[in-house]
Structure 1
Amino acid sequence: MITIANAPVSYGVFGLSRPDLVALPTGDELLALVSEAGYDGVDLGAHGLFGTGEALIGNLNRHGLGLAGGWVDYPFTGSDAEFDAAFKAALPVLDDFALVAAQQQGHGPLPTIADAGDAARKARPGGAPELQLSGAAWDLFVARLERVAAHVRSLGLEPTFHHHAVTYIETPAEIDAFLRDTTMDLTFDTGHLLLGGGDPATDFRRWAERINHLHLKDVNLTVLEQAKGSDDPVRDVWEKRVFVALGEGDLDLDGIVGDITDSGFDGWLVVEQDVVLMQQADVDRAVADQIANRETIRRWFA
């Protein structure tokens, strides 16, 4: 069975947010918005946004929401000190995942592991062959990833890895290498795959056996092209709304959802639409877009 969730990023609550320009939804307000829009679950967002420990469980239950997953990134190409610090910082986040998983009915939450990227990747959204890791650098990346996977599994959880723009797992070739050389399964993100030069239809079918989590998002690829050469392409891409409401961008929504349903996928499907809110009208639009996104996919998922 596929269970539908949304995420804080769809309401402008994530690392690129501009709270200096407009008030963002609080954790409790966000949970209410997701529930009222008709979703069954939510991603974690920043640790503590929805509370921690038993308070997290209580807040989710009060709004009738399950925990779908949540972003946990590591500097897989950083120094040993940087990676070890990130590994330690993630421990309480993963402990909360385990606490929720022990009590949650239905699909459990999947810690969504990702690379943190670096300046070289952030300067080149979409990636490039010369940026792909190889040799000792790739071996270190894999070893660190497997260390994280082993810890997550020791908590009784199953990890998932999120290929993502401006990180070292971005392009189809990098995802192929990840699937070849690691034991972790994949969060398949339609939007980030398009940004990385992939084809959601073709790539979903060839990776289907290793996909254990889904992020469904639509993309306006013109925005990516316009950001090339920018001094801050990451912020330009997000602030100019590279992610749009489902059906308004370059994603073949009918095609990919058909492939997903035909595959027999069983797990969380998280609707995401990363937006940077700059004024109150953007806040209102984000709320309306997530209601519209839920209605759009009722053709397949009631």
Structure 2
Amino acid sequence: MKTPFNKEKVYIGITPTSWWNDDFLDIDIGIPFEQCVSEMALAGYEGCSVGHKYPKDPEVLKYALDIRGLRVSEPWTSTYFTIKDMYDKTVEDFNKSLEFIKSMGGTDIVVAELGGSSHQQPIALKANKAVFDDEQWQALADGLNHIGKIATDNGMNLCYHHHMGTGVMTRPEVDRLMEMTNPAFVHLLFDTGHIRFAGGDPLEMAMDYAHRIKHVHLKNIRQPIMNQSDEQEMSFKESIEAGIFTVPGDEEGCINFEPIFETLAENNFEGWLVVEAEQNPANAYPLKYAKMGREYIRKVTGI
């Protein structure tokens, strides 16, 4: 890379979604928590997001990660600002996640608006995605600005995850959310695979929003499977089971990550670069792909 990352301020993590799926619990071959995090460490990662098999007690979890040289990159928190009577519950859940990540020594909290989302439903993913009206957009922006200020006041980064099936899925929707939210409080989680699956250009997003990106999910796309998903109007789960996602460095993937890394580095990105390939572990051996992604990132970026 012409402009390398600051090795002291960029961290490489991975999600447990290669070992099991947290949206679809039947995508699971029985790999336990201990094996998952041990293989993460073996593959050379510094941290990980939190999955449903992780210990709920922060002290137990921290010990299990510490002895493997890992730390938590982020917790996921779903928001529901766009549907009725869920504002207080959303803020309450957010505050719980915030306390958890603080106790784990983390800095980033990831959120996505799931009001009306199709991604966990057994229905056509794109045809049935959430579509917000003006009132819902305002409710979402106001809610995010509110919890974003809470995060900032606590020394944390609120990172919004654009996501398939949700009302913030496509590039124009990401643009609208960024325009409506306060950049001091609401940062962008940039997911390469989700924006490509939604019809956008990952490199263009990196270039346009480098100033808002505080967290990155590195997800690759198998183009033939994406085409199949679109043509057959598959659900999100069906797309995952068909193998739509893979890791950076997989020759079957269609995303060129090198210029994306260069763009982020040139704009002084600091934070987590997290490999996330939602694959069925019955078909894609988790450790193999974890190592593939880590080795590719090291080869390209030097970290």
Query: TM-score of the superposition, structure 1-length normalised?
Result: 0.86
2:19 paired residue number? 11
CA distance in 2, matches of 1:100, 1:143: 28
What is the SS of the residue equivalent to 2:157? Answer: coil
Change (3 A) 1:230 1:50: farther
| Maintained 8 Å contact 1:44/1:50 | no
CA distance in 1, matches of 2:117, 2:173: 18
Change (3 A) 1:34 1:120: closer
1:37 paired residue number? 43
CA distance in 1, matches of 2:81, 2:235: 22
| Maintained 8 Å contact 2:126/2:233 | no
Moved more, 159-168 or 113-122: 113-122
Amino acid at match of 1:274: E
Question: How many angstroms does 1:117 deviate by?
Answer: 4.4
Q: What percentage of aligned pairs have identical amino acids?
A: 24
Equivalent of residue 193 in structure 2, options 188, 191, 194 = 191
Question: How many angstroms does 1:147 deviate by?
Answer: 2.8
Question: How many angstroms does 1:187 deviate by?
Answer: 0.6
| Maintained 8 Å contact 2:118/2:166 | no
2:3 paired residue number? none
What is the SS of the residue equivalent to 1:159? Answer: strand
Equivalent of residue 253 in structure 2, options 242, 249, 252 = 249
What is the SS of the residue equivalent to 1:78? Answer: coil
Is 1:88 the equivalent of 2:92? yes
Moved more, 83-92 or 53-62: 83-92
Query: TM-score of the superposition, structure 2-length normalised?
Result: 0.85
CA distance in 2, matches of 1:10, 1:90: 26
Q: Deviations over 1:183-217 (max 9, x none)?
A: 20101111111011111111211111011111111
Number of residue-to-residue matches in the alignment: 287
Question: How many angstroms does 1:17 deviate by?
Answer: 3.2
CA distance in 1, matches of 2:80, 2:231: 25
Amino acid at match of 1:263: N
| Maintained 8 Å contact 2:108/2:158 | yes
Please state which structure has a larger fraction of its residues in helix: 1
2:296 paired residue number? 296
Question: How many angstroms does 1:57 deviate by?
Answer: 1.9
Amino acid at match of 1:241: G
Moved more, 210-219 or 149-158: 149-158
Equivalent of residue 215 in structure 1, options 211, 214, 217 = 217
1:72 paired residue number? 77
Equivalent of residue 111 in structure 2, options 110, 113, 131 = 113
CA distance in 2, matches of 1:16, 1:120: 13
Question: How many angstroms does 1:120 deviate by?
Answer: 5.5
Structure 2 residue runs of 5 or longer lacking an equivalent are 1-5
CA distance in 1, matches of 2:258, 2:69: 29
Amino acid at match of 2:79: Y
CA distance in 2, matches of 1:85, 1:226: 38
Runs of 4+ in 1 over 6 A off after TM superposition: none
CA distance in 2, matches of 1:291, 1:30: 13
| Maintained 8 Å contact 1:7/1:44 | yes
Equivalent of residue 22 in structure 1, options 29, 42, 45 = 29
Q: Deviations over 1:51-101 (max 9, x none)?
A: 422222222211111211122112232211x44334434443321111122
CA distance in 2, matches of 1:270, 1:53: 21
Amino acid at match of 1:301: G
What is the SS of the residue equivalent to 1:160? Answer: strand
Is 1:237 the equivalent of 2:223? no
| Maintained 8 Å contact 1:73/1:114 | yes
Change (3 A) 1:126 1:264: farther
Question: How many angstroms does 1:231 deviate by?
Answer: 7.3
| Maintained 8 Å contact 1:18/1:276 | no
Change (3 A) 1:117 1:230: farther
CA distance in 2, matches of 1:120, 1:11: 23
1:54 paired residue number? 59
